[in-house]
Amino acid sequence: LSQIEVASTPQPASTAPRRGERLRVDERIIEIVSDSGEGAQKAGQAFGALCARMGNGVWTVEIIPAEIKPPARSRAGASGIRVRFASKAVTNMGDEADLVVAFNEQVLYGRLAAGADRPGTVVLLENKWAADPNEDVRAQYAAAVAELDAQGLEVIELPLEAACQEITPDARLGKNMFVLGLLAEVFDRDLDKALAEVRATFRRKGPEVVALNERLLRHGAAFAAAHVPLAWEVPAWQSDGPLVVMNGNEAAGLGILASGVELVSMYPITPATSVSHYLGRVLPRIGGCLHQAEDEIAAVGFAIGASWAGKTACTITSGPGLALKTEFLGFAVMAELPLVVLVVQRGGPATGLPTKVEQGDLLATLFGQPGDSPKVVLAPATLEECYHFMVLARKLAEELRGPVIVLSDANLATGVAPFPRPQPQAAHLAPPVAQSAWPQGIAAYDWDASTGLSARPLPGQKGGEHVVTGLAHTRNAKVAYEPDANQIGCTMRSRKLAALGRTLLPPVVNGDPEGDLLVVGWGSTLGAIEEAVERLRAEGHKVSSTHLRFLSPMEPGLAELFGRFRRVMTVEINYSDEEGDPQVPPAARRRAQLCQLLREHTLVDVGCWSVVPGSPLAPRQVAAVLRGYLPETPSAVAGVPGTHVVPTDTTAVMAGETR
């Protein structure tokens, strides 16, 4: 895991450099916001890719309204993108923006309310509204500019659309590449590389569209040189090897391809669906198939059918779909059928926050089925892990003969960042087993008493004929009528998790192995938590963090690790009653989901702080919370000799190594 430290000193507007004195900074956060459909996301994606190609660390977060077409100029309808880029690797969206390009003033209210801006944030604001024929619009515009000014933002009003119209009559479609050119000039980006991004973005639309957008880009750069009094430079970060840049859903899609999965079965649901958009195009090229089923239940049933028939299969979904797949997941546990399930979490319950991040599916994933339903649950914390965990999931599903759930989320799904180029292995692409005759006398569930593991006969294997059933069954796959058969079956299925747990290593600790506070996280909050912890450590606090990748089974050594800290708490994006809420007696407090698991698992009094605003955590926000749990003067902690934690290495499982 990379240690992240990005200097983040807010730059007051008064010190914003003027032309001719380009200022070097470690990082910048920019936002482009607009009404939906104005191309802000396309401009930001191209700018993020451009920064990555120029060697910066980058993290891109989409700002998505829940409606496809929210009303124009609405406060809640902000659509856009944030790009944080730096001279080092970036793992999260950061705090407030340094620079905002806004196509109207109304969408800025929503961003201000979300804490995305601060005094000193420079706003490049479309000024055509000041001369709008509608008197109300003119008044709204004047009021907003006054409000932004009062809040300390530095507003620079610019005729962005009018400038675009010098190139194309349809400024609404042309603004994105104009803004890319503008930003390229402000940040001294290589114009040739920017033009290459334009060509890549519009290649499919033909040479005329490409040429028009190249002109828009050059015009945006010239416009900035003449009218935008900003000149910043964020030097490159040099990585060791080749990099790729993509979002988490593309990374998961590529991971599915690299895992050897040949059948992906899904039903459209946000925010998981874009994985299928990618796979629908690519999977057939590598000899696989994407099946869009008639519903979520059929999607998982189809995948289970293919898996039972000896093919490697995966289903992809988000919260409401996970709820519908519950019965079949229990079936896959009971019948011991390998299945990879990618769950891209969003806000819940019910339809909840369809486009927004939440980590609320953890307990549903673990305990959603009636009866005992042991299964493997993994949570990638980075975009790179979205790729590798899919490969790991396929391997584990087959080794353990059951479902493996990978819990991603909306933050990882749409976040774009560079990471080391994975090296796919031919061995991962091989189908499950050859089709030789099944050895005589071997049961269909030939459970190893110590691990619960067994080989499975596949249709086509002569002599292995049997019936899989969701009914309790014996090792010979016969419906169980003996009183102890169900006890034995449950024990064998549970032992598989214990067997996997024995191969795992304790999690890495970010910071010292003992101290005042240990923060435990999982999933996409890694970057924000680690950056917050780094800042607090720089202030002298004895705080560390650890991030779990295995939620079922749990990584070992947690109780011992927790014992070395005065306080242990989780930071999560799911609901918990606020600590000390006068309406909730302490004994009745409902805690965050990982917190509940850890308390049960370690018998340590693990605390929690969690929120559900539908947005990723910001480092400053996490640091402020953690400060409240830390003593003003760090306590003298007696070190425990010889208990340094061994790094987690999930690849040990991949290589079949055990300890």
Partner 1 sequence: MSESCAMSDNCRDGCWADFAGEEPRTYTLGDYDGGTARWCPGCGDFAVLSAMQRICRDEGIPPERLAVVSGIGCSSRFPHYVHAYGFHGLHGRALPVACGVKSRRPDLDVWVATGDGDCCSIGAGHWLHAARYNMNMVVMLFDNAIYGLTKKQSSPTTPIGFGTNTHPDGSWLPPLDPVRTMLGFANISFVARTVDWHPPHLYETLRAAYRHQGTSFVHILQRCPTYTPDMFEVLRREPERMLFLEHADGISGDGGPRYAFPNREAHDPTDHMAAHTFAARRDAIPIGLFYRDATAPRYDLHTAQGVGQGSAARLAALERELDRFAV
Residues that bind partner 1 (CB under 8 A): 52-53, 242-246, 250, 254, 257-258, 262-263, 265, 282, 284-289, 291, 293-295, 297-299, 301-311, 313, 327-328, 331, 418, 421-422, 424, 426, 429-431, 434-435, 457, 459-471, 479
HEC-encoded secondary structure of 123-161: EEEECHHHHCCCHHHHHHHHHHHHHHHHCCCEEEEECHH
Q: At its nearest, how many Å lie between partner 1 and the CB of residue 465?
A: 6
- For partner 1, give the closer residue by CB, 153 or 198: 198
AA identity, residue 31: E
Contacts with 433 (C-beta within 8 Å, 6 or more apart), sequence order: 310, 458
Q: At its nearest, how many Å lie between partner 1 and the CB of residue 116?
A: 27
- For partner 1, give the closer residue by CB, 12 or 235: 235
- For partner 1, give the closer residue by CB, 121 or 326: 326
- Residue 389: both structure tokens together: 């965990």
Q: How far apart are CA 510 and CA 266, in angstroms?
A: 37
Contacts with 250 (C-beta within 8 Å, 6 or more apart), sequence order: 274, 275, 278
Count of CA atoms in the C-beta half-sphere (13 A) of 499? 21
Q: At its nearest, how many Å lie between partner 1 and the CB of residue 237?
A: 11
Q: At its nearest, how many Å lie between partner 1 and the CB of residue 458?
A: 8
- The closest alpha carbon to 271, from 474, 127, 409, 455, belongs to 409
- For partner 1, give the closer residue by CB, 77 or 260: 260
Task: Report the 10 Å Cβ neighbour count for 127.
Answer: 18
Strands (E), 251-375: 263-266, 289-292, 313-317, 339-345
Q: At its nearest, how many Å lie between partner 1 and the CB of residue 224?
A: 25
Q: At its nearest, how many Å lie between partner 1 and the CB of residue 461?
A: 6
Give the torsion sign (CA, 67, 73, 78, 81). positive
- The closest alpha carbon to 102, from 120, 132, 82, belongs to 82
In this structure, the strands spanning 515-522 and 543-548 are: parallel
Q: At its nearest, how many Å lie between partner 1 and the CB of residue 455?
A: 15
Q: At its nearest, how many Å lie between partner 1 and the CB of residue 457?
A: 8
Q: How far apart are CA 215 and CA 207, in angstroms?
A: 12
Q: How far, in Å, are 179, 188, 272, 325, 536 from residue 164 at the CA level? A: 9, 21, 35, 49, 46
- For partner 1, give the closer residue by CB, 86 or 306: 306
Q: How far apart are CA 564 and CA 151, in angstroms?
A: 44
- For partner 1, give the closer residue by CB, 309 or 603: 309
- For partner 1, give the closer residue by CB, 216 or 303: 303
Q: How far apart are CA 571 and CA 575, in angstroms?
A: 11
- For partner 1, give the closer residue by CB, 115 or 310: 310
Q: How far apart are CA 547 and CA 621, in angstroms?
A: 18
In this structure, the strands spanning 23-24 and 232-233 are: parallel
Angle formed at CA 345 by CA 344 and CA 347, multiple of 5 degrees: 150
Q: At its nearest, how many Å lie between partner 1 and the CB of residue 310?
A: 7
Q: At its nearest, how many Å lie between partner 1 and the CB of residue 434?
A: 8
Q: At its nearest, how many Å lie between partner 1 and the CB of residue 438?
A: 8
- For partner 1, give the closer residue by CB, 27 or 161: 27
- For partner 1, give the closer residue by CB, 225 or 293: 293
AA identity, residue 163: A
- For partner 1, give the closer residue by CB, 244 or 625: 244
